[in-house]
Structure 1
Amino acid sequence: MIETTADLAAACKELAKSDFITIDTEFLRETTFWPELCLIQMASPTVEVLVDPLAKDIDLAPFFELMANPNVLKVFHAARQDIEIIFNRGNLIPHPIFDTQVAAMVCGFGDSVSYDQLISRTKNVHIDKSSRFTDWSRRPLSDKQLEYALADVTHLRDAYLYLKTELEREGRASWLREEMDILESRETYDIHPDDAWQRLKLRLRKPQELAILKYVAAWREREARSRNVPRSRVLKDDAIYEIAQQQPKDAEALGRLRTIPKGWERSATGAAVLEAVNTALALPRSEMPHVPRQAQPPEGAAAAVELLKVLLKLISEKHGVAPKVIANSDDLDRIAAEGETAEVAAMHGWRRDLFGEPALQLIRGEIALRFAGRKVETVALPA
């Protein structure tokens, strides 16, 4: 276990000699807004290290320098949360990266394959996951915890090499690159408080309601960050919806809401919420947000979506790619309703070649689906 800056710098120097390294982190975030980094695991083909970020006076600068090194590929499994931690602690996005979960979907391992499933299928090794939900902030860590943590990066080396070979053999390396560009974008992690309302499901129908939703959600986001507590500890989603719909302008009205704890309306936080509500209501009508209107799908669109689902399943099985990587349910809805003009990922790049064009052909009546020989297949129709 590395517990000093000098040892960390020496280890990172050795790791930087490799073309790639595997990385994982252990953290806690049940009671905090920002995840508490408790352990860093890294491995190259020749070096394996565990780093204690909770060690007294340790400086993680050498680790962040390694994450920014453009000559070393950083291999993660399900990278988003690990990268979020690195971004919040080091104000950088690791580059370049390779996410084995995404690569596995591109290589036909199914949707969101877990790490232990990936290792089992690529190495025929069973990983004991019993230490997964232990308290990683307590010291000392047990031998079982350390063994589990190290296995998260040692087996990942072989899984990466396997997937890399498969991607090159199938000519799909560029497919993965598009997904990695999203994971390497700062916008993926640097969410502005004013955009926090986008995390909520839009259940509102009036501009005033949406304005309150935006202002209260932004206040909650700033409050949760400053206090380093989960959003729900500040104000639950249901309370934000009720506040937006009932539009309380004073403490008495706020106290009548069923989602507000008794007496909360007289607190400083209650006053802050009322200020957000009244600020939203004071907006000129011209500055009120517009409630997005759901486009009315054309007649028969629902049936068309069902056909597109079958086509997607057929193509994903044929090419060994998880359906989720090609198109999601919103993509199918929009393709069925908007056709060629649907602005979705499935209509661009390799996804269009694989699925988008056949989907348009199906909509235009140029191909059909038929059941033949106990399987579904496409058939060209006469012009």
Structure 2
Amino acid sequence: MTRFHKFALAATLALSALGCQDPVDKAAKARIFSPEDPPKVVASAAEKLPPEDVADNPRVARRILSMDAAEVTERLGPHAYKATVSYEWTGAPGTVTTRLTETRTFRAGPGGVVGDFHGVLENSRDQGLEVMRVGGKVYARNRYGTFRQRLRDRGMAERSRAELTGAIRDVDTLFRGRIQLSPQGTVTHEGRTAWRYNVALGPEGDTGVAPQVLPAILEPKGGRDATTQRRLAFFENRTPKSLSGEVLVDSTTSVVLKVRLDGRITVPANDAGGAAELRMVLDSALSEIGQDPQLQPPQDFLPDVDKPQGIADALDRFGIPRNKPEDANKAPGAASPADEPADEEGN
């Protein structure tokens, strides 16, 4: 190496060293090579939520009562969940009472937020669904259908997991966040120490729930149908009348272990219909805490497909030939290339 080349190399190294001292460059490198932030659920699971503060701190109470299934799994590990929710509608005197009962079962495997799980929803009207995730692959079906692998329904499994295990959150929402808890000491559930709280209907006011700002509802050209009017009238005019029960909160993880709620909501008479009352009863509990359910994928399932063929698929099933796109502009009676005799010389 000549003297000139040695001088050029030294100058280059010196300039590189000076460039590394630039604080902007150093900050950029720190961002690029810093470890990836953990998922939001993992960060939430690390938050300390003292269960003894539930009765006096609305924010802590809401966090615990609305805790997502993914965070529960991060805090508690593998477990089983079962909830029964019954709805009983009563209208004006002499009207028929409408009843519906839901059963929700859920099993969470190890692995936290990205772990395996299996959830089933059934009701007394012979409806339901089943969703499972095993080894990162998702399968779903309705109550009597065949499992189908879901490769591109991003977030579908996580949403189903949250809905299946969110019974207490649903009740709390319907009662406008007015679940009021009063401490009654500690008990033992599934071998774990839990804080026991009595439930009552609390006053309106600061419930620890942030107000939601939603866009205005779009009005259809022909007006709302009767079912939609009744549904909106219920949510706008519902008035919680009573609520009782108990809640058990794990002293170590602040996870709700068991719930018993019994409440009533009234709706006054309005343009959408007469006065009505809804009674809701919720029974839920966690069990098999720390036990790996050893979930396995379904033995028989349908592959994921881009789009059902619809009418074309039905034609193929019954052996009825269907026109191809290239035949659409062909003159009537004209033979298609496949029907023409092949050239004897193969040209």
* Shared fold (TM-score, shorter chain, > 0.5): no
Greater helix content? 1
- Which protein is bigger by CA-based radius of gyration? 2
TM-score (norm 1): 0.21
TM-score (norm 2): 0.22
Greater relative CO (CA pairs within 8 A, separation 6+): 2
Greater strand content? 2
